[in-house]
């Protein structure tokens, strides 16, 4: 009964676009948001000062608004831990099955897998080194967190080696190449607490702020972090210093932000039904078309030969484009493309795929019109 209640609540919050809840069993599983192009690079910004004892840093991240089909920045902020001994595992984006899927964050006694993303300030892709619990007090690592020692005395210093990397997703072209360790998988089975109410309000407020949309700020949000959840103005607000990389979203930003259905039937005749395909390998199978039946065996045989010829030609063109795109993906990995070059390549692949799909549809329609039997003659 409890599991059914959690699932129902998650679906309800899904509709609101909060993307903030998780069940313990699904901590490593995407919640259903599927987008056709990756989020911008993580912006560069400073951490606001910790407001008081017991606050845990929750780093900023890019979320997805399916209504506007746009990414928006959820500013990093300090949040009181919901329980003594609990830490925050940030949400993350991962490349799976040719799409970018969103994984929610959660509170728990151990840090879980968050895609290997370098969010900074203690979250450098592997665990958390910004602080630790000692009995019922949280101690802050001053080398990576902004602490006022006049107000907070439970501190320590531990040097951390940081690799600068602003990539915001795991896997796929240009993504972070890292898999969960056994201890991170074990953390996913711990008892968890979902994002607390102030975090949900913080997300909702970010979603409603036009300036935080990637299409508006080009990857450099004016509110990168806040001292407390929901405080989007005042002296505790920190702006981005710069974007992590140039932002180049696809011309057609339609990302399919609705929950992704792996079992959905592909549209008839490869038409796509409005679905955006990013690579030739994702296109549905080419339909051969219905056998003609004009009543004239010779005419029907000729039409069938034309259908087969077009089918073979289109398959060859699709295979050629697929091989070309896969070759470019391999070259991008070998040459270690940055996120800007990766996004440019993916945008080009999407345009190539859509152009090929449209061209094949026009060819099929033209052949079908030629195959249509002539209207019966009218006798006076």
Q: Is the CB of residue 33 less than 8 Å from the CB of residue 102? A: yes
Beta-carbon contacts of residue 33 (< 8 Å; ≥ 6 apart): 19, 64, 66, 101, 102, 257, 259, 260
Residues 6 or more apart whose CB falls under 8 angstroms from that of 181 comprise 113, 126
- The pLDDT value given to residue 370: 65
Strands, DSSP E only, in the chain? Answer: 34-35, 55-58, 61-65, 70-74, 76-80, 87-89, 92-96, 99-103, 106-108, 131-134, 137-141, 155-156, 169-170, 225-226
Query: For the packed helices 339-371 and 297-334, what is the interaxial angle rounded to 10 degrees?
Result: 180
Question: Of 81, 96, 42, which is closest to residue 193 (Cα–Cα)?
Answer: 81
Phi, psi of 91 (to 5 degrees): -70, 165
What's the count of helices (H) and strands (E) in the chain, helices before strands? 6, 14
* pLDDT tens-place string over residues 249-298: 876 554 444 333 333 333 333 334 345 577 888 787 877 666 666 678 88
Sequence length of the chain is 380
pLDDT at res. 9: 39
User: Coil, strand or helix: which one is 292?
Assistant: coil
DSSP string spanning 300-335? HHHHHHHHHHHHHHHHHHHHHHHHHHHHHHHHHHHT
What does the DSSP assignment read for 19-42?
Answer: -----GGGTTS--SBEESSPPPPP
What pLDDT score was predicted for residue 362? 77
* Whether 108 contacts 190, CB under 8 Å: yes
Residue range 59-98, pLDDT digits in tens: 999 999 988 889 999 999 999 999 999 999 999 999 988 8
Q: 90: buried, middle or exposed (CB in 10 Å: 19+, 13-18, 0-12)?
A: buried
Please report, for residues 60, 168, 333, the alpha-carbon distance to residue 237 in angstroms, rounded to integers and kept in the order given: 13, 22, 37
Q: Please, which residues bridge with residue 318 across strands?
A: none
Tokens of 160: 């951390």
Tell me if 110 sits within 8 A of 132, measured CB to CB. no
Q: What is the pLDDT of residue 90?
A: 97
Residues in the chain where the model's pLDDT stays below 70: 1-32, 251-276, 288-294, 339-340, 369-380
pLDDT at 252: 56
Interatomic CA distance for residues 196 and 186, integer angstroms: 22
């Amino acid at each position: 009964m409890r599991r059914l209640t959690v699932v129902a609540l998650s679906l309800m919050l899904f509709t609101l676009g909060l993307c903030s809840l998780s069940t313990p069993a699904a901590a490593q599983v995407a919640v259903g948001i599927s987008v056709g192009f990756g989020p911008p690079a993580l912006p560069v910004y400073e951490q606001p000062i910790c407001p008081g004892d017991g606050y845990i840093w929750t780093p900023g991240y890019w979320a997805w608004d399916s209504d506007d089909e746009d990414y928006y920045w959820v500013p990093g902020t300090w949040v009181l831990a919901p329980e003594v001994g609990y830490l925050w595992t940030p949400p993350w984006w991962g490349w799976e099955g040719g799409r970018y899927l969103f994984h929610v964050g959660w509170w728990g006694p151990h840090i879980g897998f968050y895609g290997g993303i370098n969010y900074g300030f203690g979250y450098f892709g592997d665990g958390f080194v910004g602080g630790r619990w000692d009995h019922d007090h949280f101690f802050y690592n001053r080398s990576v967190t902004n602490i006022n020692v006049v107000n907070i005395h439970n501190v320590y210093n531990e040097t951390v080696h940081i690799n600068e990397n602003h990539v915001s997703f795991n896997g796929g072209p240009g993504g972070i190449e890292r898999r969960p360790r056994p201890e991170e998988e074990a953390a996913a089975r711990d008892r968890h607490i979902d994002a607390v109410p102030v975090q949900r309000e913080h997300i909702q407020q970010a979603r409603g702020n036009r300036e935080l949309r990637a299409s508006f700020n080009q990857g450099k949000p004016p509110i990168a972090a806040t001292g407390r959840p929901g405080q989007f103005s005042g002296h505790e607000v920190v702006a981005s210093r710069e974007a992590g990389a140039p932002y180049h979203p696809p011309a057609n930003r339609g990302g399919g932000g609705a929950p992704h259905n792996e079992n959905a039937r592909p549209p008839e005749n490869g038409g796509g039904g409005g679905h955006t395909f990013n690579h030739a390998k994702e296109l549905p199978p080419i339909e051969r078309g219905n056998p003609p039946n004009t009543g004239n065996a010779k005419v029907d045989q000729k039409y069938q030969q034309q259908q087969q010829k077009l089918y073979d030609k289109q398959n060859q063109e699709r295979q050629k484009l697929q091989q070309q795109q896969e070759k470019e993906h391999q070259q991008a990995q070998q040459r270690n493309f940055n996120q800007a070059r990766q996004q440019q390549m993916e945008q080009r692949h999407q345009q190539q795929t859509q152009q090929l799909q449209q061209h094949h549809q026009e060819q099929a329609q033209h052949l079908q019109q030629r195959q249509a039997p002539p209207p019966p003659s009218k006798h006076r």
